[in-house]
Structure 1
Amino acid sequence: MGQLVTPFFGFEVGDGKNVSFWKNKWCGTTLFCEPFPSLFAIATSKEAWVNEVWIGEGERRGNWTPSFNRPFNDWEMEEVGRLLCCLDGKMVRVDEKDRVRWVESKDEVFSVKSLYRALQPMSLASFPSKIIWNSCV
Structure 2
Amino acid sequence: MWLKRTDLARPWQGLPRLNDPLVEGVFQSLARFTVGDGQLTYFWRDRWIGGYTAEELAPEVFAIVPTRRKNTRLVAEAMQGDAWLDDISGEMTEELWRQCLTLWEAVEDVDRDVSTSDRILWKGAEAGSYSAKCTYEMLCQGSVRWSMSTPVWGSFSPMKCKIFAWLALRYRLWTSDRRARHGLQEHPNACYICLQEEDNVDHILTLCPYARQVWCRVLHSASLRMIDPGGMGNLQRWWTEARKRVRRVDRKRFDSMVICTAWTIWKQQNARAFSNEREQKTVDQMVTQIRDDFLLWERARRGVRLGIVRE
TM-score range normalised by the length of the shorter chain: 0.5 to 0.7
Q: Secondary structure, in 3 states, of the residue corresponding to 1:33?
A: helix
Corresponding residue number in structure 2 for 1:13: 35
Shift of 1:19: 0.9
- List aligned pairs for 1:1-137, cutoff 5 A: 3=23, 6-7=27-28, 8-43=30-65, 45-46=69-70, 47-55=72-80, 64-66=82-84, 67=86, 68-70=88-90, 72-104=92-124, 109-110=128-129, 115=135, 117-124=137-144
Alignment size in residue pairs: 118
How far the C-alpha of 1:122 sits from its partner, in A, is: 2.2
Relative distance call for 1:70 and 1:77 in structure 2 (3 A) is same
Q: Partners of 1:48 and 1:111 in 2: how far apart?
A: 24
Task: Give the secondary structure class of the aligned counterpart of 2:62.
Answer: helix
2 CA distance for matches of 1:104 and 1:64? 34
Q: Runs of 4+ in structure 1 displaced over 6 angstroms?
A: none
Report the Cα distance in structure 2 between the residues aligned to 1:35 and 1:102, rounded to whole angstroms: 22
**Aligned partners of 1:17 and 1:51 also within 8 Å:** yes
Residues 5, 77 of structure 1: alpha-carbon distance in 2 compared, 3 angstrom cutoff: closer
Percent of aligned positions with the same letter in both sequences? 24
Q: 1:29 to 1:94 in 2, by over 3 A?
A: closer
More strand per residue: 1 or 2?
Answer: 1
Compared CA separation, residues 111 and 40, structure 1 to 2 (3 A) = closer
Q: Distance in 2 between matches of 1:64 and 1:120?
A: 41
Structure 2: how far apart are the matches of 1:103 and 1:85?
A: 27
Aligned position for 2:309:
none
The CA RMSD measured in Å over matched residues stands at 3.4
CA distance in 2, matches of 1:90, 1:72: 25
* Separation in 1, partners of 2:129, 2:105: 29
Instruction: Evaluate the alpha carbon distance shift between residue 111 and residue 43 of structure 1 in structure 2; reply closer, same or farther with a 3 A threshold.
Output: closer
Task: Please identify the structure whose Cα radius of gyration is greater.
Answer: 2
**TM-score, with length taken from structure 1:** 0.63
Give the 3 Å change call, closer, same or farther, for CA 86–124 of structure 1 in structure 2: farther
- Distance, in Å, in 1 between the alignment partners of 2:91 and 2:49 is 24
Distance change >3 Å, CA 11–CA 102, structure 1 → 2: same
Q: Which runs of 5+ in 2 are unaligned?
A: 3-22, 146-311
Task: Look up the equivalent residue of 2:65 and give its one-letter code.
Answer: A
Distance 1:111-1:80 versus aligned 2 partners, 3 A rule: closer
Per-residue Cα deviation, 1:20-53 (whole angstroms, up to 9, x for no partner):
1011121233432344231123336322110111
Higher helix proportion, which one? 2
- Normalising by structure 2, we get a TM-score of 0.32
For 1:38 and 1:29, the matched residues in 2 are separated by 19
Unaligned runs of 5+ residues in structure 1 are 56-62, 126-137
